[in-house]
Chains A and B, each alone.
Chain A
Amino acid sequence: MSDGSAMRVCIDGTPLLVRSAGVKTYLYHWLRSLQASNSPHKLTIFPRIGPLPALDHRLSVKPLLPTAFRFAMVAVLNRSWWPAGPSCDVFHASNLVRCLPRNAKAITATLHDLTTWTMPEMHTRGNIAADQAFAEAIIRKADRLIAVSEHTRQDAIKVLRIPNDRIDVIHHGVPDYYFEATPQEAEAVAGKHQLERPYILFCATIEPRKNLETLLDAYNLLAPSLQETFDLVVAGMAGWASQATVERLKSSGNGVRYLGYVAESDMPGLTRGATVFVYPSLYEGFGFPLAQAMAAGVPAITSAVSSMPEIAGDAALLIDPRSCEELRVAITRLLLSPSERESLAAKARRQAERYRWEDCASKSWAFFERALGR
């Protein structure tokens, strides 16, 4: 194959068939942006999925039976006796794949985060085992890797001892509809969810790593007049080890509004309508909700750890996520200072311009070319 010819890239889309938040969002928008980009190369998805329907994090993108069928295909691929996988030049594996397709010229993968190594207490044993198997089978052998942030890249170099010249940082994008969300949209979504008061927004799957408990503590310690004026709106499906937190959300009456899973179509409006967005996560590989809030021009507070300072730049207030007081003060400061909210929101929009799916797609094509040694 000469350098000028089209390459055939096959991307493992199995995470689209499961219940997932961040990884699925990534894969969904990434595939769509690669499909939409004007590239001479050929893209296939394994297993074949067809046109992508609207994104729902709770369910497979396919109905039950087709999903089961496709899982069977993945299981077959994962048996080493199977002679060949999908035929392609570059195979981009997900963490659900264990065996490399033999006829691919290059293997690549995306590194989201290394929390199963750095924060095992935040994961199930199954999760940890799966990530470690993925690391042994794919990551160590891959020709090139995408890290979703510089922070993840550094972690991979430190934890997995992967040579630094094999990893490229390609940030995620934020869908255009977050950039374009309007106040009218925000009003409509607020009406739909009966949000009558201005609100502080948190959105993420409810799990210990997202550190929602600290946010609830901080909210309860806000000056009473602020609690009476601003609701805390929590949007996200219940995830691992979330029972106690979900119960607390449902039972804490004054000002806390738990919306459960909010459809992706409502998220831009819900985000745009927030007075302040708070994301006190203990660890993020990238942190979609933060980037989305920034794109919608909502002033944000986030943690000064892992990738969040990198993603936020100087466009968010950074706090120590273990400090309830720091969080409470930051929230109070933003709620009380319209001028600071405005200046942060303007900076946030500028910063978020770095996270466009188009850019991500063109960088990804260049990445695949490098993986083939071109």
Chain B
Amino acid sequence: MPDPIVTVVVPTLAVGDALEKCLNSLEQQTLDLFDVVVVDNSGAGRARAFGRRTRVIVNQHNIGFAGAVNQGIRDSHTVYVATLNDDTIADRRWLETLIACAETNPQAGMFACEVRLMGTVLLDSAGMLIAADGSSKQRGHEQPAAEFAGTRAALFPSASAALYRRSMLDLIGLFDENFFLYCEDTDLGLRARWAGWDCCYVPGAVVEHYYSHSAGRATPLKAYYIERNRLYTVIKNFPARWLWRVPFASAMRYLWHLLAIRAGQGKGAEFRKSGHSAALLPLLVLRAYFATLGRLPYLLAERRRIQKSRRISSSEFLGLIEKNTISLREVAWL
């Protein structure tokens, strides 16, 4: 048996059929060069080793996505780390295609997969896009995967299915555990970009995803984390000359959300359909701002650290973002 070169980290909250299907799809991989770490965040400790290449880390309580993935990364020594949501099914050639790309693109430290919506030819994501207020969205969401077959670059991957180079993580640090859940991949991706690492989009490295399976489609918790973590991301990563725009952009997006909710569109409307009052949203937003304020010293220290070790200029960074931007209207409306 050759030494593994990739560790696939699968954090899970709901140990069940979905996880089993996911691990089973890993057992079917064509390439025999990886091991698997399942990090059980359910608190129930029910995850069992599945297959000879899998080991399990059990947490007494939910330490969040970022914390769980970091545990898996620290527990391994392979050249690459893949993150994979437990509500996915990896195509047999997923790792083969992904590693082939990684081994032949040493300048890249991140690799975004062709993540499809389960059972369709539509994309969940082909890497991520970012908006002027720091919100991030999946690129290509609900568009045919074939439209991105000729694409080779992305801004950064969605951690629902991604590959990272360990040497990059050693330099820039792991996922920020203060994020707990959501947008930790955006923060990591932007930090990597500042440090000069590229991101490849790897068409053919297919993963099918039951979208937002683990935390429900639109819950108050999710709304809160996404809003707070957007602010974390902005403060840590946005260049100074863009920061002043963020409050205006945020206001603009709230407005679009309002319109979208009235039109029964977007995540806001979904939130209402899930039985929550839309009036809750401003309160969640406010709570996110207070939480950010409380974390400001930490976030600013991180910002200084990132800027100190940056390898590209602000203009280059902004150039990258402008190539991978999504409008505020689309953020609210999709």
Contact = CB atoms under 8 A, between A and B. Distances in A.
Interface of A: 222-226, 228-229, 325, 328-329, 332-333, 335-337, 339-340
B31 A329 contact: yes
Contacts of A225: 97, 100-101, 103-105, 202
Contact of B2 (A229, A325, A328, A340): A340
A153 B73 CA distance: 53
A337 B96 contact: no
A228 B97 CA distance: 13
Contacts of A328: 30
B100 A226 contact: yes
A222 B5 CA distance: 19
Contacts of B97: 223, 225
A328, A336, A337, A339: residue with the most chain B Cβ atoms closer than 10 Å? A336
Contacts of A336: 5, 31, 33, 99-100, 103
B122 to A, nearest CB: 22
Given A223-B204, A337-B3, A332 B101 contact: no
Interface string B182-209: 0000000000000000000010100000
Interface string B210-228: 0000000000000000000
Contacts of B33: 333, 336-337
A317 to B, nearest CB: 10
B30 A329 contact: yes
A318 to B, nearest CB: 14
A301 to B, nearest CB: 13
B32 interface: yes
B59 to A, nearest CB: 32
Given A224-B204, A228-B104, A229-B104, A332 B96 contact: yes
Interface residues of B, number: 18
Nearest to A343: B2
Given A333-B2, A333-B32, 20 more contacts: A223-B96, A224-B100, A224-B101, A224-B204, A226-B100, A226-B104, A229-B104, A329-B31, A332-B30, A332-B31, A332-B96, A332-B100, A333-B31, A335-B103, A336-B5, A336-B100, A337-B2, A337-B3, A337-B33, A339-B2
Contacts of A229: 104
Contacts of A337: 2-3, 5, 33
Nearest to B30: A329
Nearest to A224: B204
Contacts of A340: 2-3
A336 B105 CA distance: 12
Interface in B69-110: 93, 96-97, 99-101, 103-105
A332 to B, nearest CB: 5
A54 B31 CA distance: 44
A224 B105 CA distance: 12
Interface in B289-328: none
B150 to A, nearest CB: 11
Top 6 closest A-B pairs, CB basis?
A223-B100, A340-B2, A225-B101, A229-B104, A225-B104, A223-B97
13 contacts: A224-B204, A225-B100, A226-B104, A228-B104, A229-B104, A332-B30, A332-B31, A333-B33, A335-B103, A336-B33, A336-B100, A337-B5, A339-B2
Nearest to B205: A223
Nearest to A317: B2
Contacts of B100: 222-226, 332, 335-336
Contacts of B204: 223-224
Interface string B125-136: 000000000000
B113 to A, nearest CB: 13
Nearest to A334: B2
Nearest to A326: B30
A95 to B, nearest CB: 43
A256 B100 CA distance: 18
Contacts of B103: 225, 335-336
Nearest to A325: B30
A228 B204 CA distance: 15
A229 B5 CA distance: 19
Contacts of B105: 225
A333 B3 CA distance: 11
A340 B33 CA distance: 10
